[in-house]
Amino acid sequence: MAVSSSSFFSDFGLLWYLEELNKDEFNKFKLLLKDETEEPGHQQIPWAEMKKAKRVDVANLMNKCYPGEQAWSVTFKILGKMGLKHLCEKAKAEMISIAQAVKPEDTTPMELEEEEKAMLGDGTDYKSQIKADLCIMRNKIHLPGQLQEFCHKITREDRELLEHLFDEDGQTGEQPQIVVLQGAAGTGKTTLVRKAMLEWAEGNLYQEKFAYAFYLNARDINQLKEASFVKLISKNWPSIEGSIEQIMSQPGRLLFIIDSFDELDFAFEEPESELSSNRNQEHPVSFLISSLLRKVMIPESSLLITTKPTAYKKLKSLLKRHRCVEIVGMSEDARREYMYQFYENPKWATQAFMSLRNNDIVFKMCQAHQLCWVFCTCLKQQMEKGADITLTCQTATSLFTCFLSSFLVPEDKSSPSVPNQFQLKNLCYLAAKGIWTLQYLFYREHFRKHGLYKPDVSIFVDMNILQVDSDYESCYMFIHLHVQEFFAAMFYVIKGHWKTTDIPYQSFEDLNQLLDSKDTHLMQMKCFLFGLVNEDIIKQLEKTFGCEMSRNLKWELLEWVETLENNEHSLSKLTFLELFHYLYETQYEAFTIQVMSYFRTINVAIRERLHLLVSSFCLKYCQPLQTIKLSATVIHKERPKSPDETWQAGQDDDDIRYWQDLCSVLHTSEHLKELDLFHSNLDGLATEILQQELRNPDCKLQRLRLRFVSFPDNCKSIFSSLTQNQNLTHLDLKGNNVGDNGVKFLCEDLKHPEHKLQNLSLEKCGLTVAGCEDLHSALIKNKRLKHLSLADNALGDGGVKIISNALTQSQSTLQSLVLMDCVLTSACCQDLAYVISNNSNLRNLDLGNNDLQDDGVKILCQALRHPSCNIQRLGLQACGLTSLCCQDLASTFSVNQRLLKINLTQNIFGYEGIKKLCEVLQSPECKLQTLGLSKEAFDEEAQKLLVAVVVSKPCLIIKSTFDEQDVEDGS
């Protein structure tokens, strides 16, 4: 027979709680105990014994007359009559704690669960209350675009996501206590957590993990000023369930859901030391939420929090370790299904889906039900008119404009259903202020402050621009964040006087403040702002609202772009991709040409199809373009199979078309001289397009950098186009997997008499000694190559011997050779020394990061002192040198009048070595202009010597770093 926790506790625990009573309370307890009705099986405690009994005696008498749990049952009853409910709750909580600690071996889990339910209740009434409340909430809420089946059913994907939110991390094995659901507005975060509450209440979710779950909505929380934590979570707690304090004895089995963190009107600036763990003490609600988030209040509990991305940084600063899950909204299949349910005509549904899908920007917006409804609504009206919806779907700005027009086509300008210019301007002001300050909820006092009263607000509610909160009639929000952003952008173009009160000037009213801001949450508003440059859009809005829009926006934007072009600091704050997004939203060719005319160099990283779309649109209008720096990783990459193969093929064709448009700049832009393509991944078709553009006779490229680019054929197709491009003089293939086989093809092209290449970098290209044979023959036959970098290839001494042999031929024109990190030793120095003393054209030699050591450098120094040596720049950094070679170096400095730059950083010379060098550095015979040495690497005495050199010889620069550009150009 299992021993229950309560009987175990009653052996000594009853006395503890009798000790809690003062003298008067204890006497009253005895009187009430005397009057306790005798039940079958109970012994009556004689009053004579009771009257004189002390606390310990009363406890013993009760355990004798009321065995097991009966003693506590009577005690709870009497304490309840005395109004000492808190002692009952405390005792019950302690029973559970002891039960969990003791767990006798013969106590089965079922017996423990039954006992726990007997003391706490099983939460049935609470769960019933939750289900009833969620049902009421579901019936009250109706957002535009939420079709019945999309709102309420829990999908297989939803259930799978919810079930695994609190699973152990596969890598660390840790189980998260805090999970954050982050997603854009309207993607279904609130719906998902409400479904989670309902599934838990119905017994389908988290039954083993969480005994109780509590849903806290930001809008409810904002209504409270001060409360205790128990009061905060008691909103849905039924009185018949018992005290909510009882469940706090199992803190690890509690789940708190905080919905819409981004709407909380709190600064969360309280120091952690001031937070509270007291559940019953009243505090400002911000303190309670902060205490819960920062694991001061009930630290063992679990949290599930939803937020928009704009508030995630703020939330993250409050949390310790947590798991973040992105909620993206409706899947592609769900969007397709939605549209087929929205339209009665399947052909219309197909047409709308295809038109929206062809624009990545607006199709991504359709992940939100409300926006899917907005776009479907306006496209339906367009199709009813027989209009071409392809034009409408070009930009989000045109779709939102079309949507507003579908509701606002008044026959009578005085119609009360149409907002006047004053009302519209004030709403736009409120929208803009909200976007700047991350405010998405508006109360009547906000509207009144800006001259908008209930009848004014009702106009916008009727037009499905604003919606009323289902629980708070005085609370409003735009039907979607993007709708608020659209009206916020309109604030900057609507003309007319609008302020009715003495509202002080706000900084966000300055257009340049908006344009200069780097806050990411303002980007969509800026996109809409640029979209409003389009003359057709402006005319449609003027017709819709019957108000006048400013035509100055175009010129204000051009002035701003001009300041960017003249200010490198401002330009660095704006990514070109961001600008390209804005310009694409205009669909205004003349304006885009004007904006792009300010830029000579473009730097852009293409990471998704949308980037490719906007970049190809803008670059073709950049007429003065001279340099493109481009990284592309999504060109025609593999896509998951689509049920609509025709549409899938069309998407792939679009990708190639966008890439073709972008690459066409190589021959259409007459001023383009340099292409820097880096960290990119191109497939066969994309490579072929690039190759064709390089071959185009109108291609004026002179410098081509292809660094860390993945080609399917190891650059062979690129090599074949080199002989046909008569302008290309610089080729950089750093980080490409060319290999010895690829170099064979390259060298065949280098031998061609039409080849114009002067500067070639094969750094980190996987070359070995085998590839040096092909380079040997190419170097002998090629009469134009001036610079060659073979850095970071495992050539070894054998490879350098082969290269050196080619450079000693009388016809070698090479002026600069880079052999850094080529696994060289002193064994190759004799071959290099022969080149130095016999090749009069060689001006630059970089041997850094090779284990040449003192013996190798001594051999090189002998050659450097040879009268035929023309070396002007020498790299010997990190070559394992010591003070033993410093005399040779010093002698070279005084004899060689042509050596201007030498890099000796990362060598251990010591004081004696520095002393020898400094003696000659100060002499007039030394013509060095730049010396690579890190002063900080030496002791104080050596540093003093170097400082003295700089003072006595101002023309000599001692620096710790050398620019890569110096190496590349051989300067």
pLDDT digits (tens, 9 = 90+) for 879-929: 999 999 999 999 999 999 999 999 999 999 999 999 999 999 999 999 999
Rounded to whole angstroms, the Cα distance separating 893 from 886 reads 10
Q: What is the mean pLDDT of the chain?
A: 85
Of residues 57, 71, 58, the one with CA closest to residue 4: 71
- Residue identified by tokens 């920007």 is 361
- Residue identified by tokens 């080849």 is 755
What number is the average pLDDT over the span 418-429?
Answer: 88
Whether residue 7 has pLDDT greater than 50: no
pLDDT grade for 296, boundaries at 50, 70 and 90: very high
Of 330-339, 451-460, 806-815, the one with minimum mean pLDDT is 806-815
Rounded to whole angstroms, the Cα distance separating 626 from 703 reads 11
pLDDT grade for 413, boundaries at 50, 70 and 90: very low
For residue 249, the model assigns a pLDDT of: 79
Of residues 290, 239, 238, 242, the one with CA closest to residue 264: 290
Beta carbons of 291 and 419 less than 8 angstroms apart:
no
Q: Please indicate whether residue 875 or residue 63 has the higher confidence score (pLDDT).
A: 875
What number is the average pLDDT over the span 293-303?
Answer: 94
Of residues 795, 903, 801, 892, the one with CA closest to residue 845: 903
pLDDT grade for 645, boundaries at 50, 70 and 90: very low
What number is the average pLDDT over the span 108-135?
Answer: 63
For 513-522, how does the pLDDT look when each residue is reduced to its tens digit (9 = 90+)?
A: 999 888 889 9
By the 10 Å C-beta count (0-12 exposed, 13-18 middle, 19+ buried), 961 is classed as exposed
Type of residue numbered 427: L
Of residues 899, 892, 890, 837, the one with CA closest to residue 867: 837
Q: What CA–CA distances, in Å, run from 764 to 285, 680, 737, 739, 742?
A: 60, 16, 8, 9, 13
First CA to last CA across the chain, in angstroms? Answer: 93
For 842-883, how does the pLDDT look when each residue is reduced to its tens digit (9 = 90+)?
A: 999 999 999 999 999 999 999 999 999 999 999 999 999 999
For 757-803, how does the pLDDT look when each residue is reduced to its tens digit (9 = 90+)?
A: 999 999 999 999 999 999 999 999 888 899 999 999 999 999 999 99
Question: In a 3-state reduction of DSSP, which class is residue 675?
Answer: strand
Rounded to whole angstroms, the Cα distance separating 371 from 524 reads 14
What is the share, in percent, of the chain residues with pLDDT greater than 70?
A: 86
What number is the average pLDDT over the span 605-616?
Answer: 91
For 382-409, how does the pLDDT look when each residue is reduced to its tens digit (9 = 90+)?
A: 999 888 899 899 999 999 999 988 765 4
What is the share, in percent, of the chain residues with pLDDT greater than 90?
A: 53
Q: What CA–CA distances, in Å, run from 752 to 716, 756, 940?
A: 15, 9, 57
Whether residue 338 has pLDDT greater than 70: yes
Q: Please indicate whether residue 620 or residue 17 has the higher confidence score (pLDDT).
A: 620
For residue 10, the model assigns a pLDDT of: 45
- Residue identified by tokens 């006595």 is 952
What number is the average pLDDT over the span 651-665?
Answer: 84
Whether residue 596 has pLDDT greater than 90: yes
For 169-178, how does the pLDDT look when each residue is reduced to its tens digit (9 = 90+)?
A: 888 888 899 9
User: CB atoms < 10 A from the CB of 96, how many?
Assistant: 21
